[in-house]
Structure 1
Amino acid sequence: MLKAAGIQKKGACHLLRHSCATHIMENGADLRSIQQMLGHARLDTPHIYTEVSIQYLREVYNKTHPNAQTKGT
């Protein structure tokens, strides 16, 4: 599949797999679902996907934290 897309970088398959899993988790999937999707035998294996991007954390903060909310003046 990567060859067909013209991707020749070493490790690209792993990077694609990691990126997809991270995006799926950021959009609400639970760790157990990601474990099953990726075929990991143990739940502690896919824990690396819990390291979400700082941009995502900022978005969540800005949407939910009281200090980030614009106060009506």
Structure 2
Amino acid sequence: MAWGLAEFDAERRGKKEGYSAGLSDGISQGIQQGISQGAQQKAIETAKNMLTFGDSIEKISQVTGLSEEEIKSLIK
């Protein structure tokens, strides 16, 4: 089956659109992941500071959203 110029252009256009959509989705996911990691790192920094001030693990958990296990691991 021979392809005409129109079919070739349509396939090429479709591949380009698919690539662009995939790239855009990948960038969006990367940004979201970076934001989440940054928020987690900030919570850990806050927890460490609160530990130095002698705040309770329960209070730190409430403020930062970290689990008590995560906070206990920072003490070690």
Please give the TM-score of this superposition, normalised by the length of structure 1.
0.42
Question: Which of 1 and 2 has greater Rg?
Answer: 2
Which of the two has greater helix per residue? 2
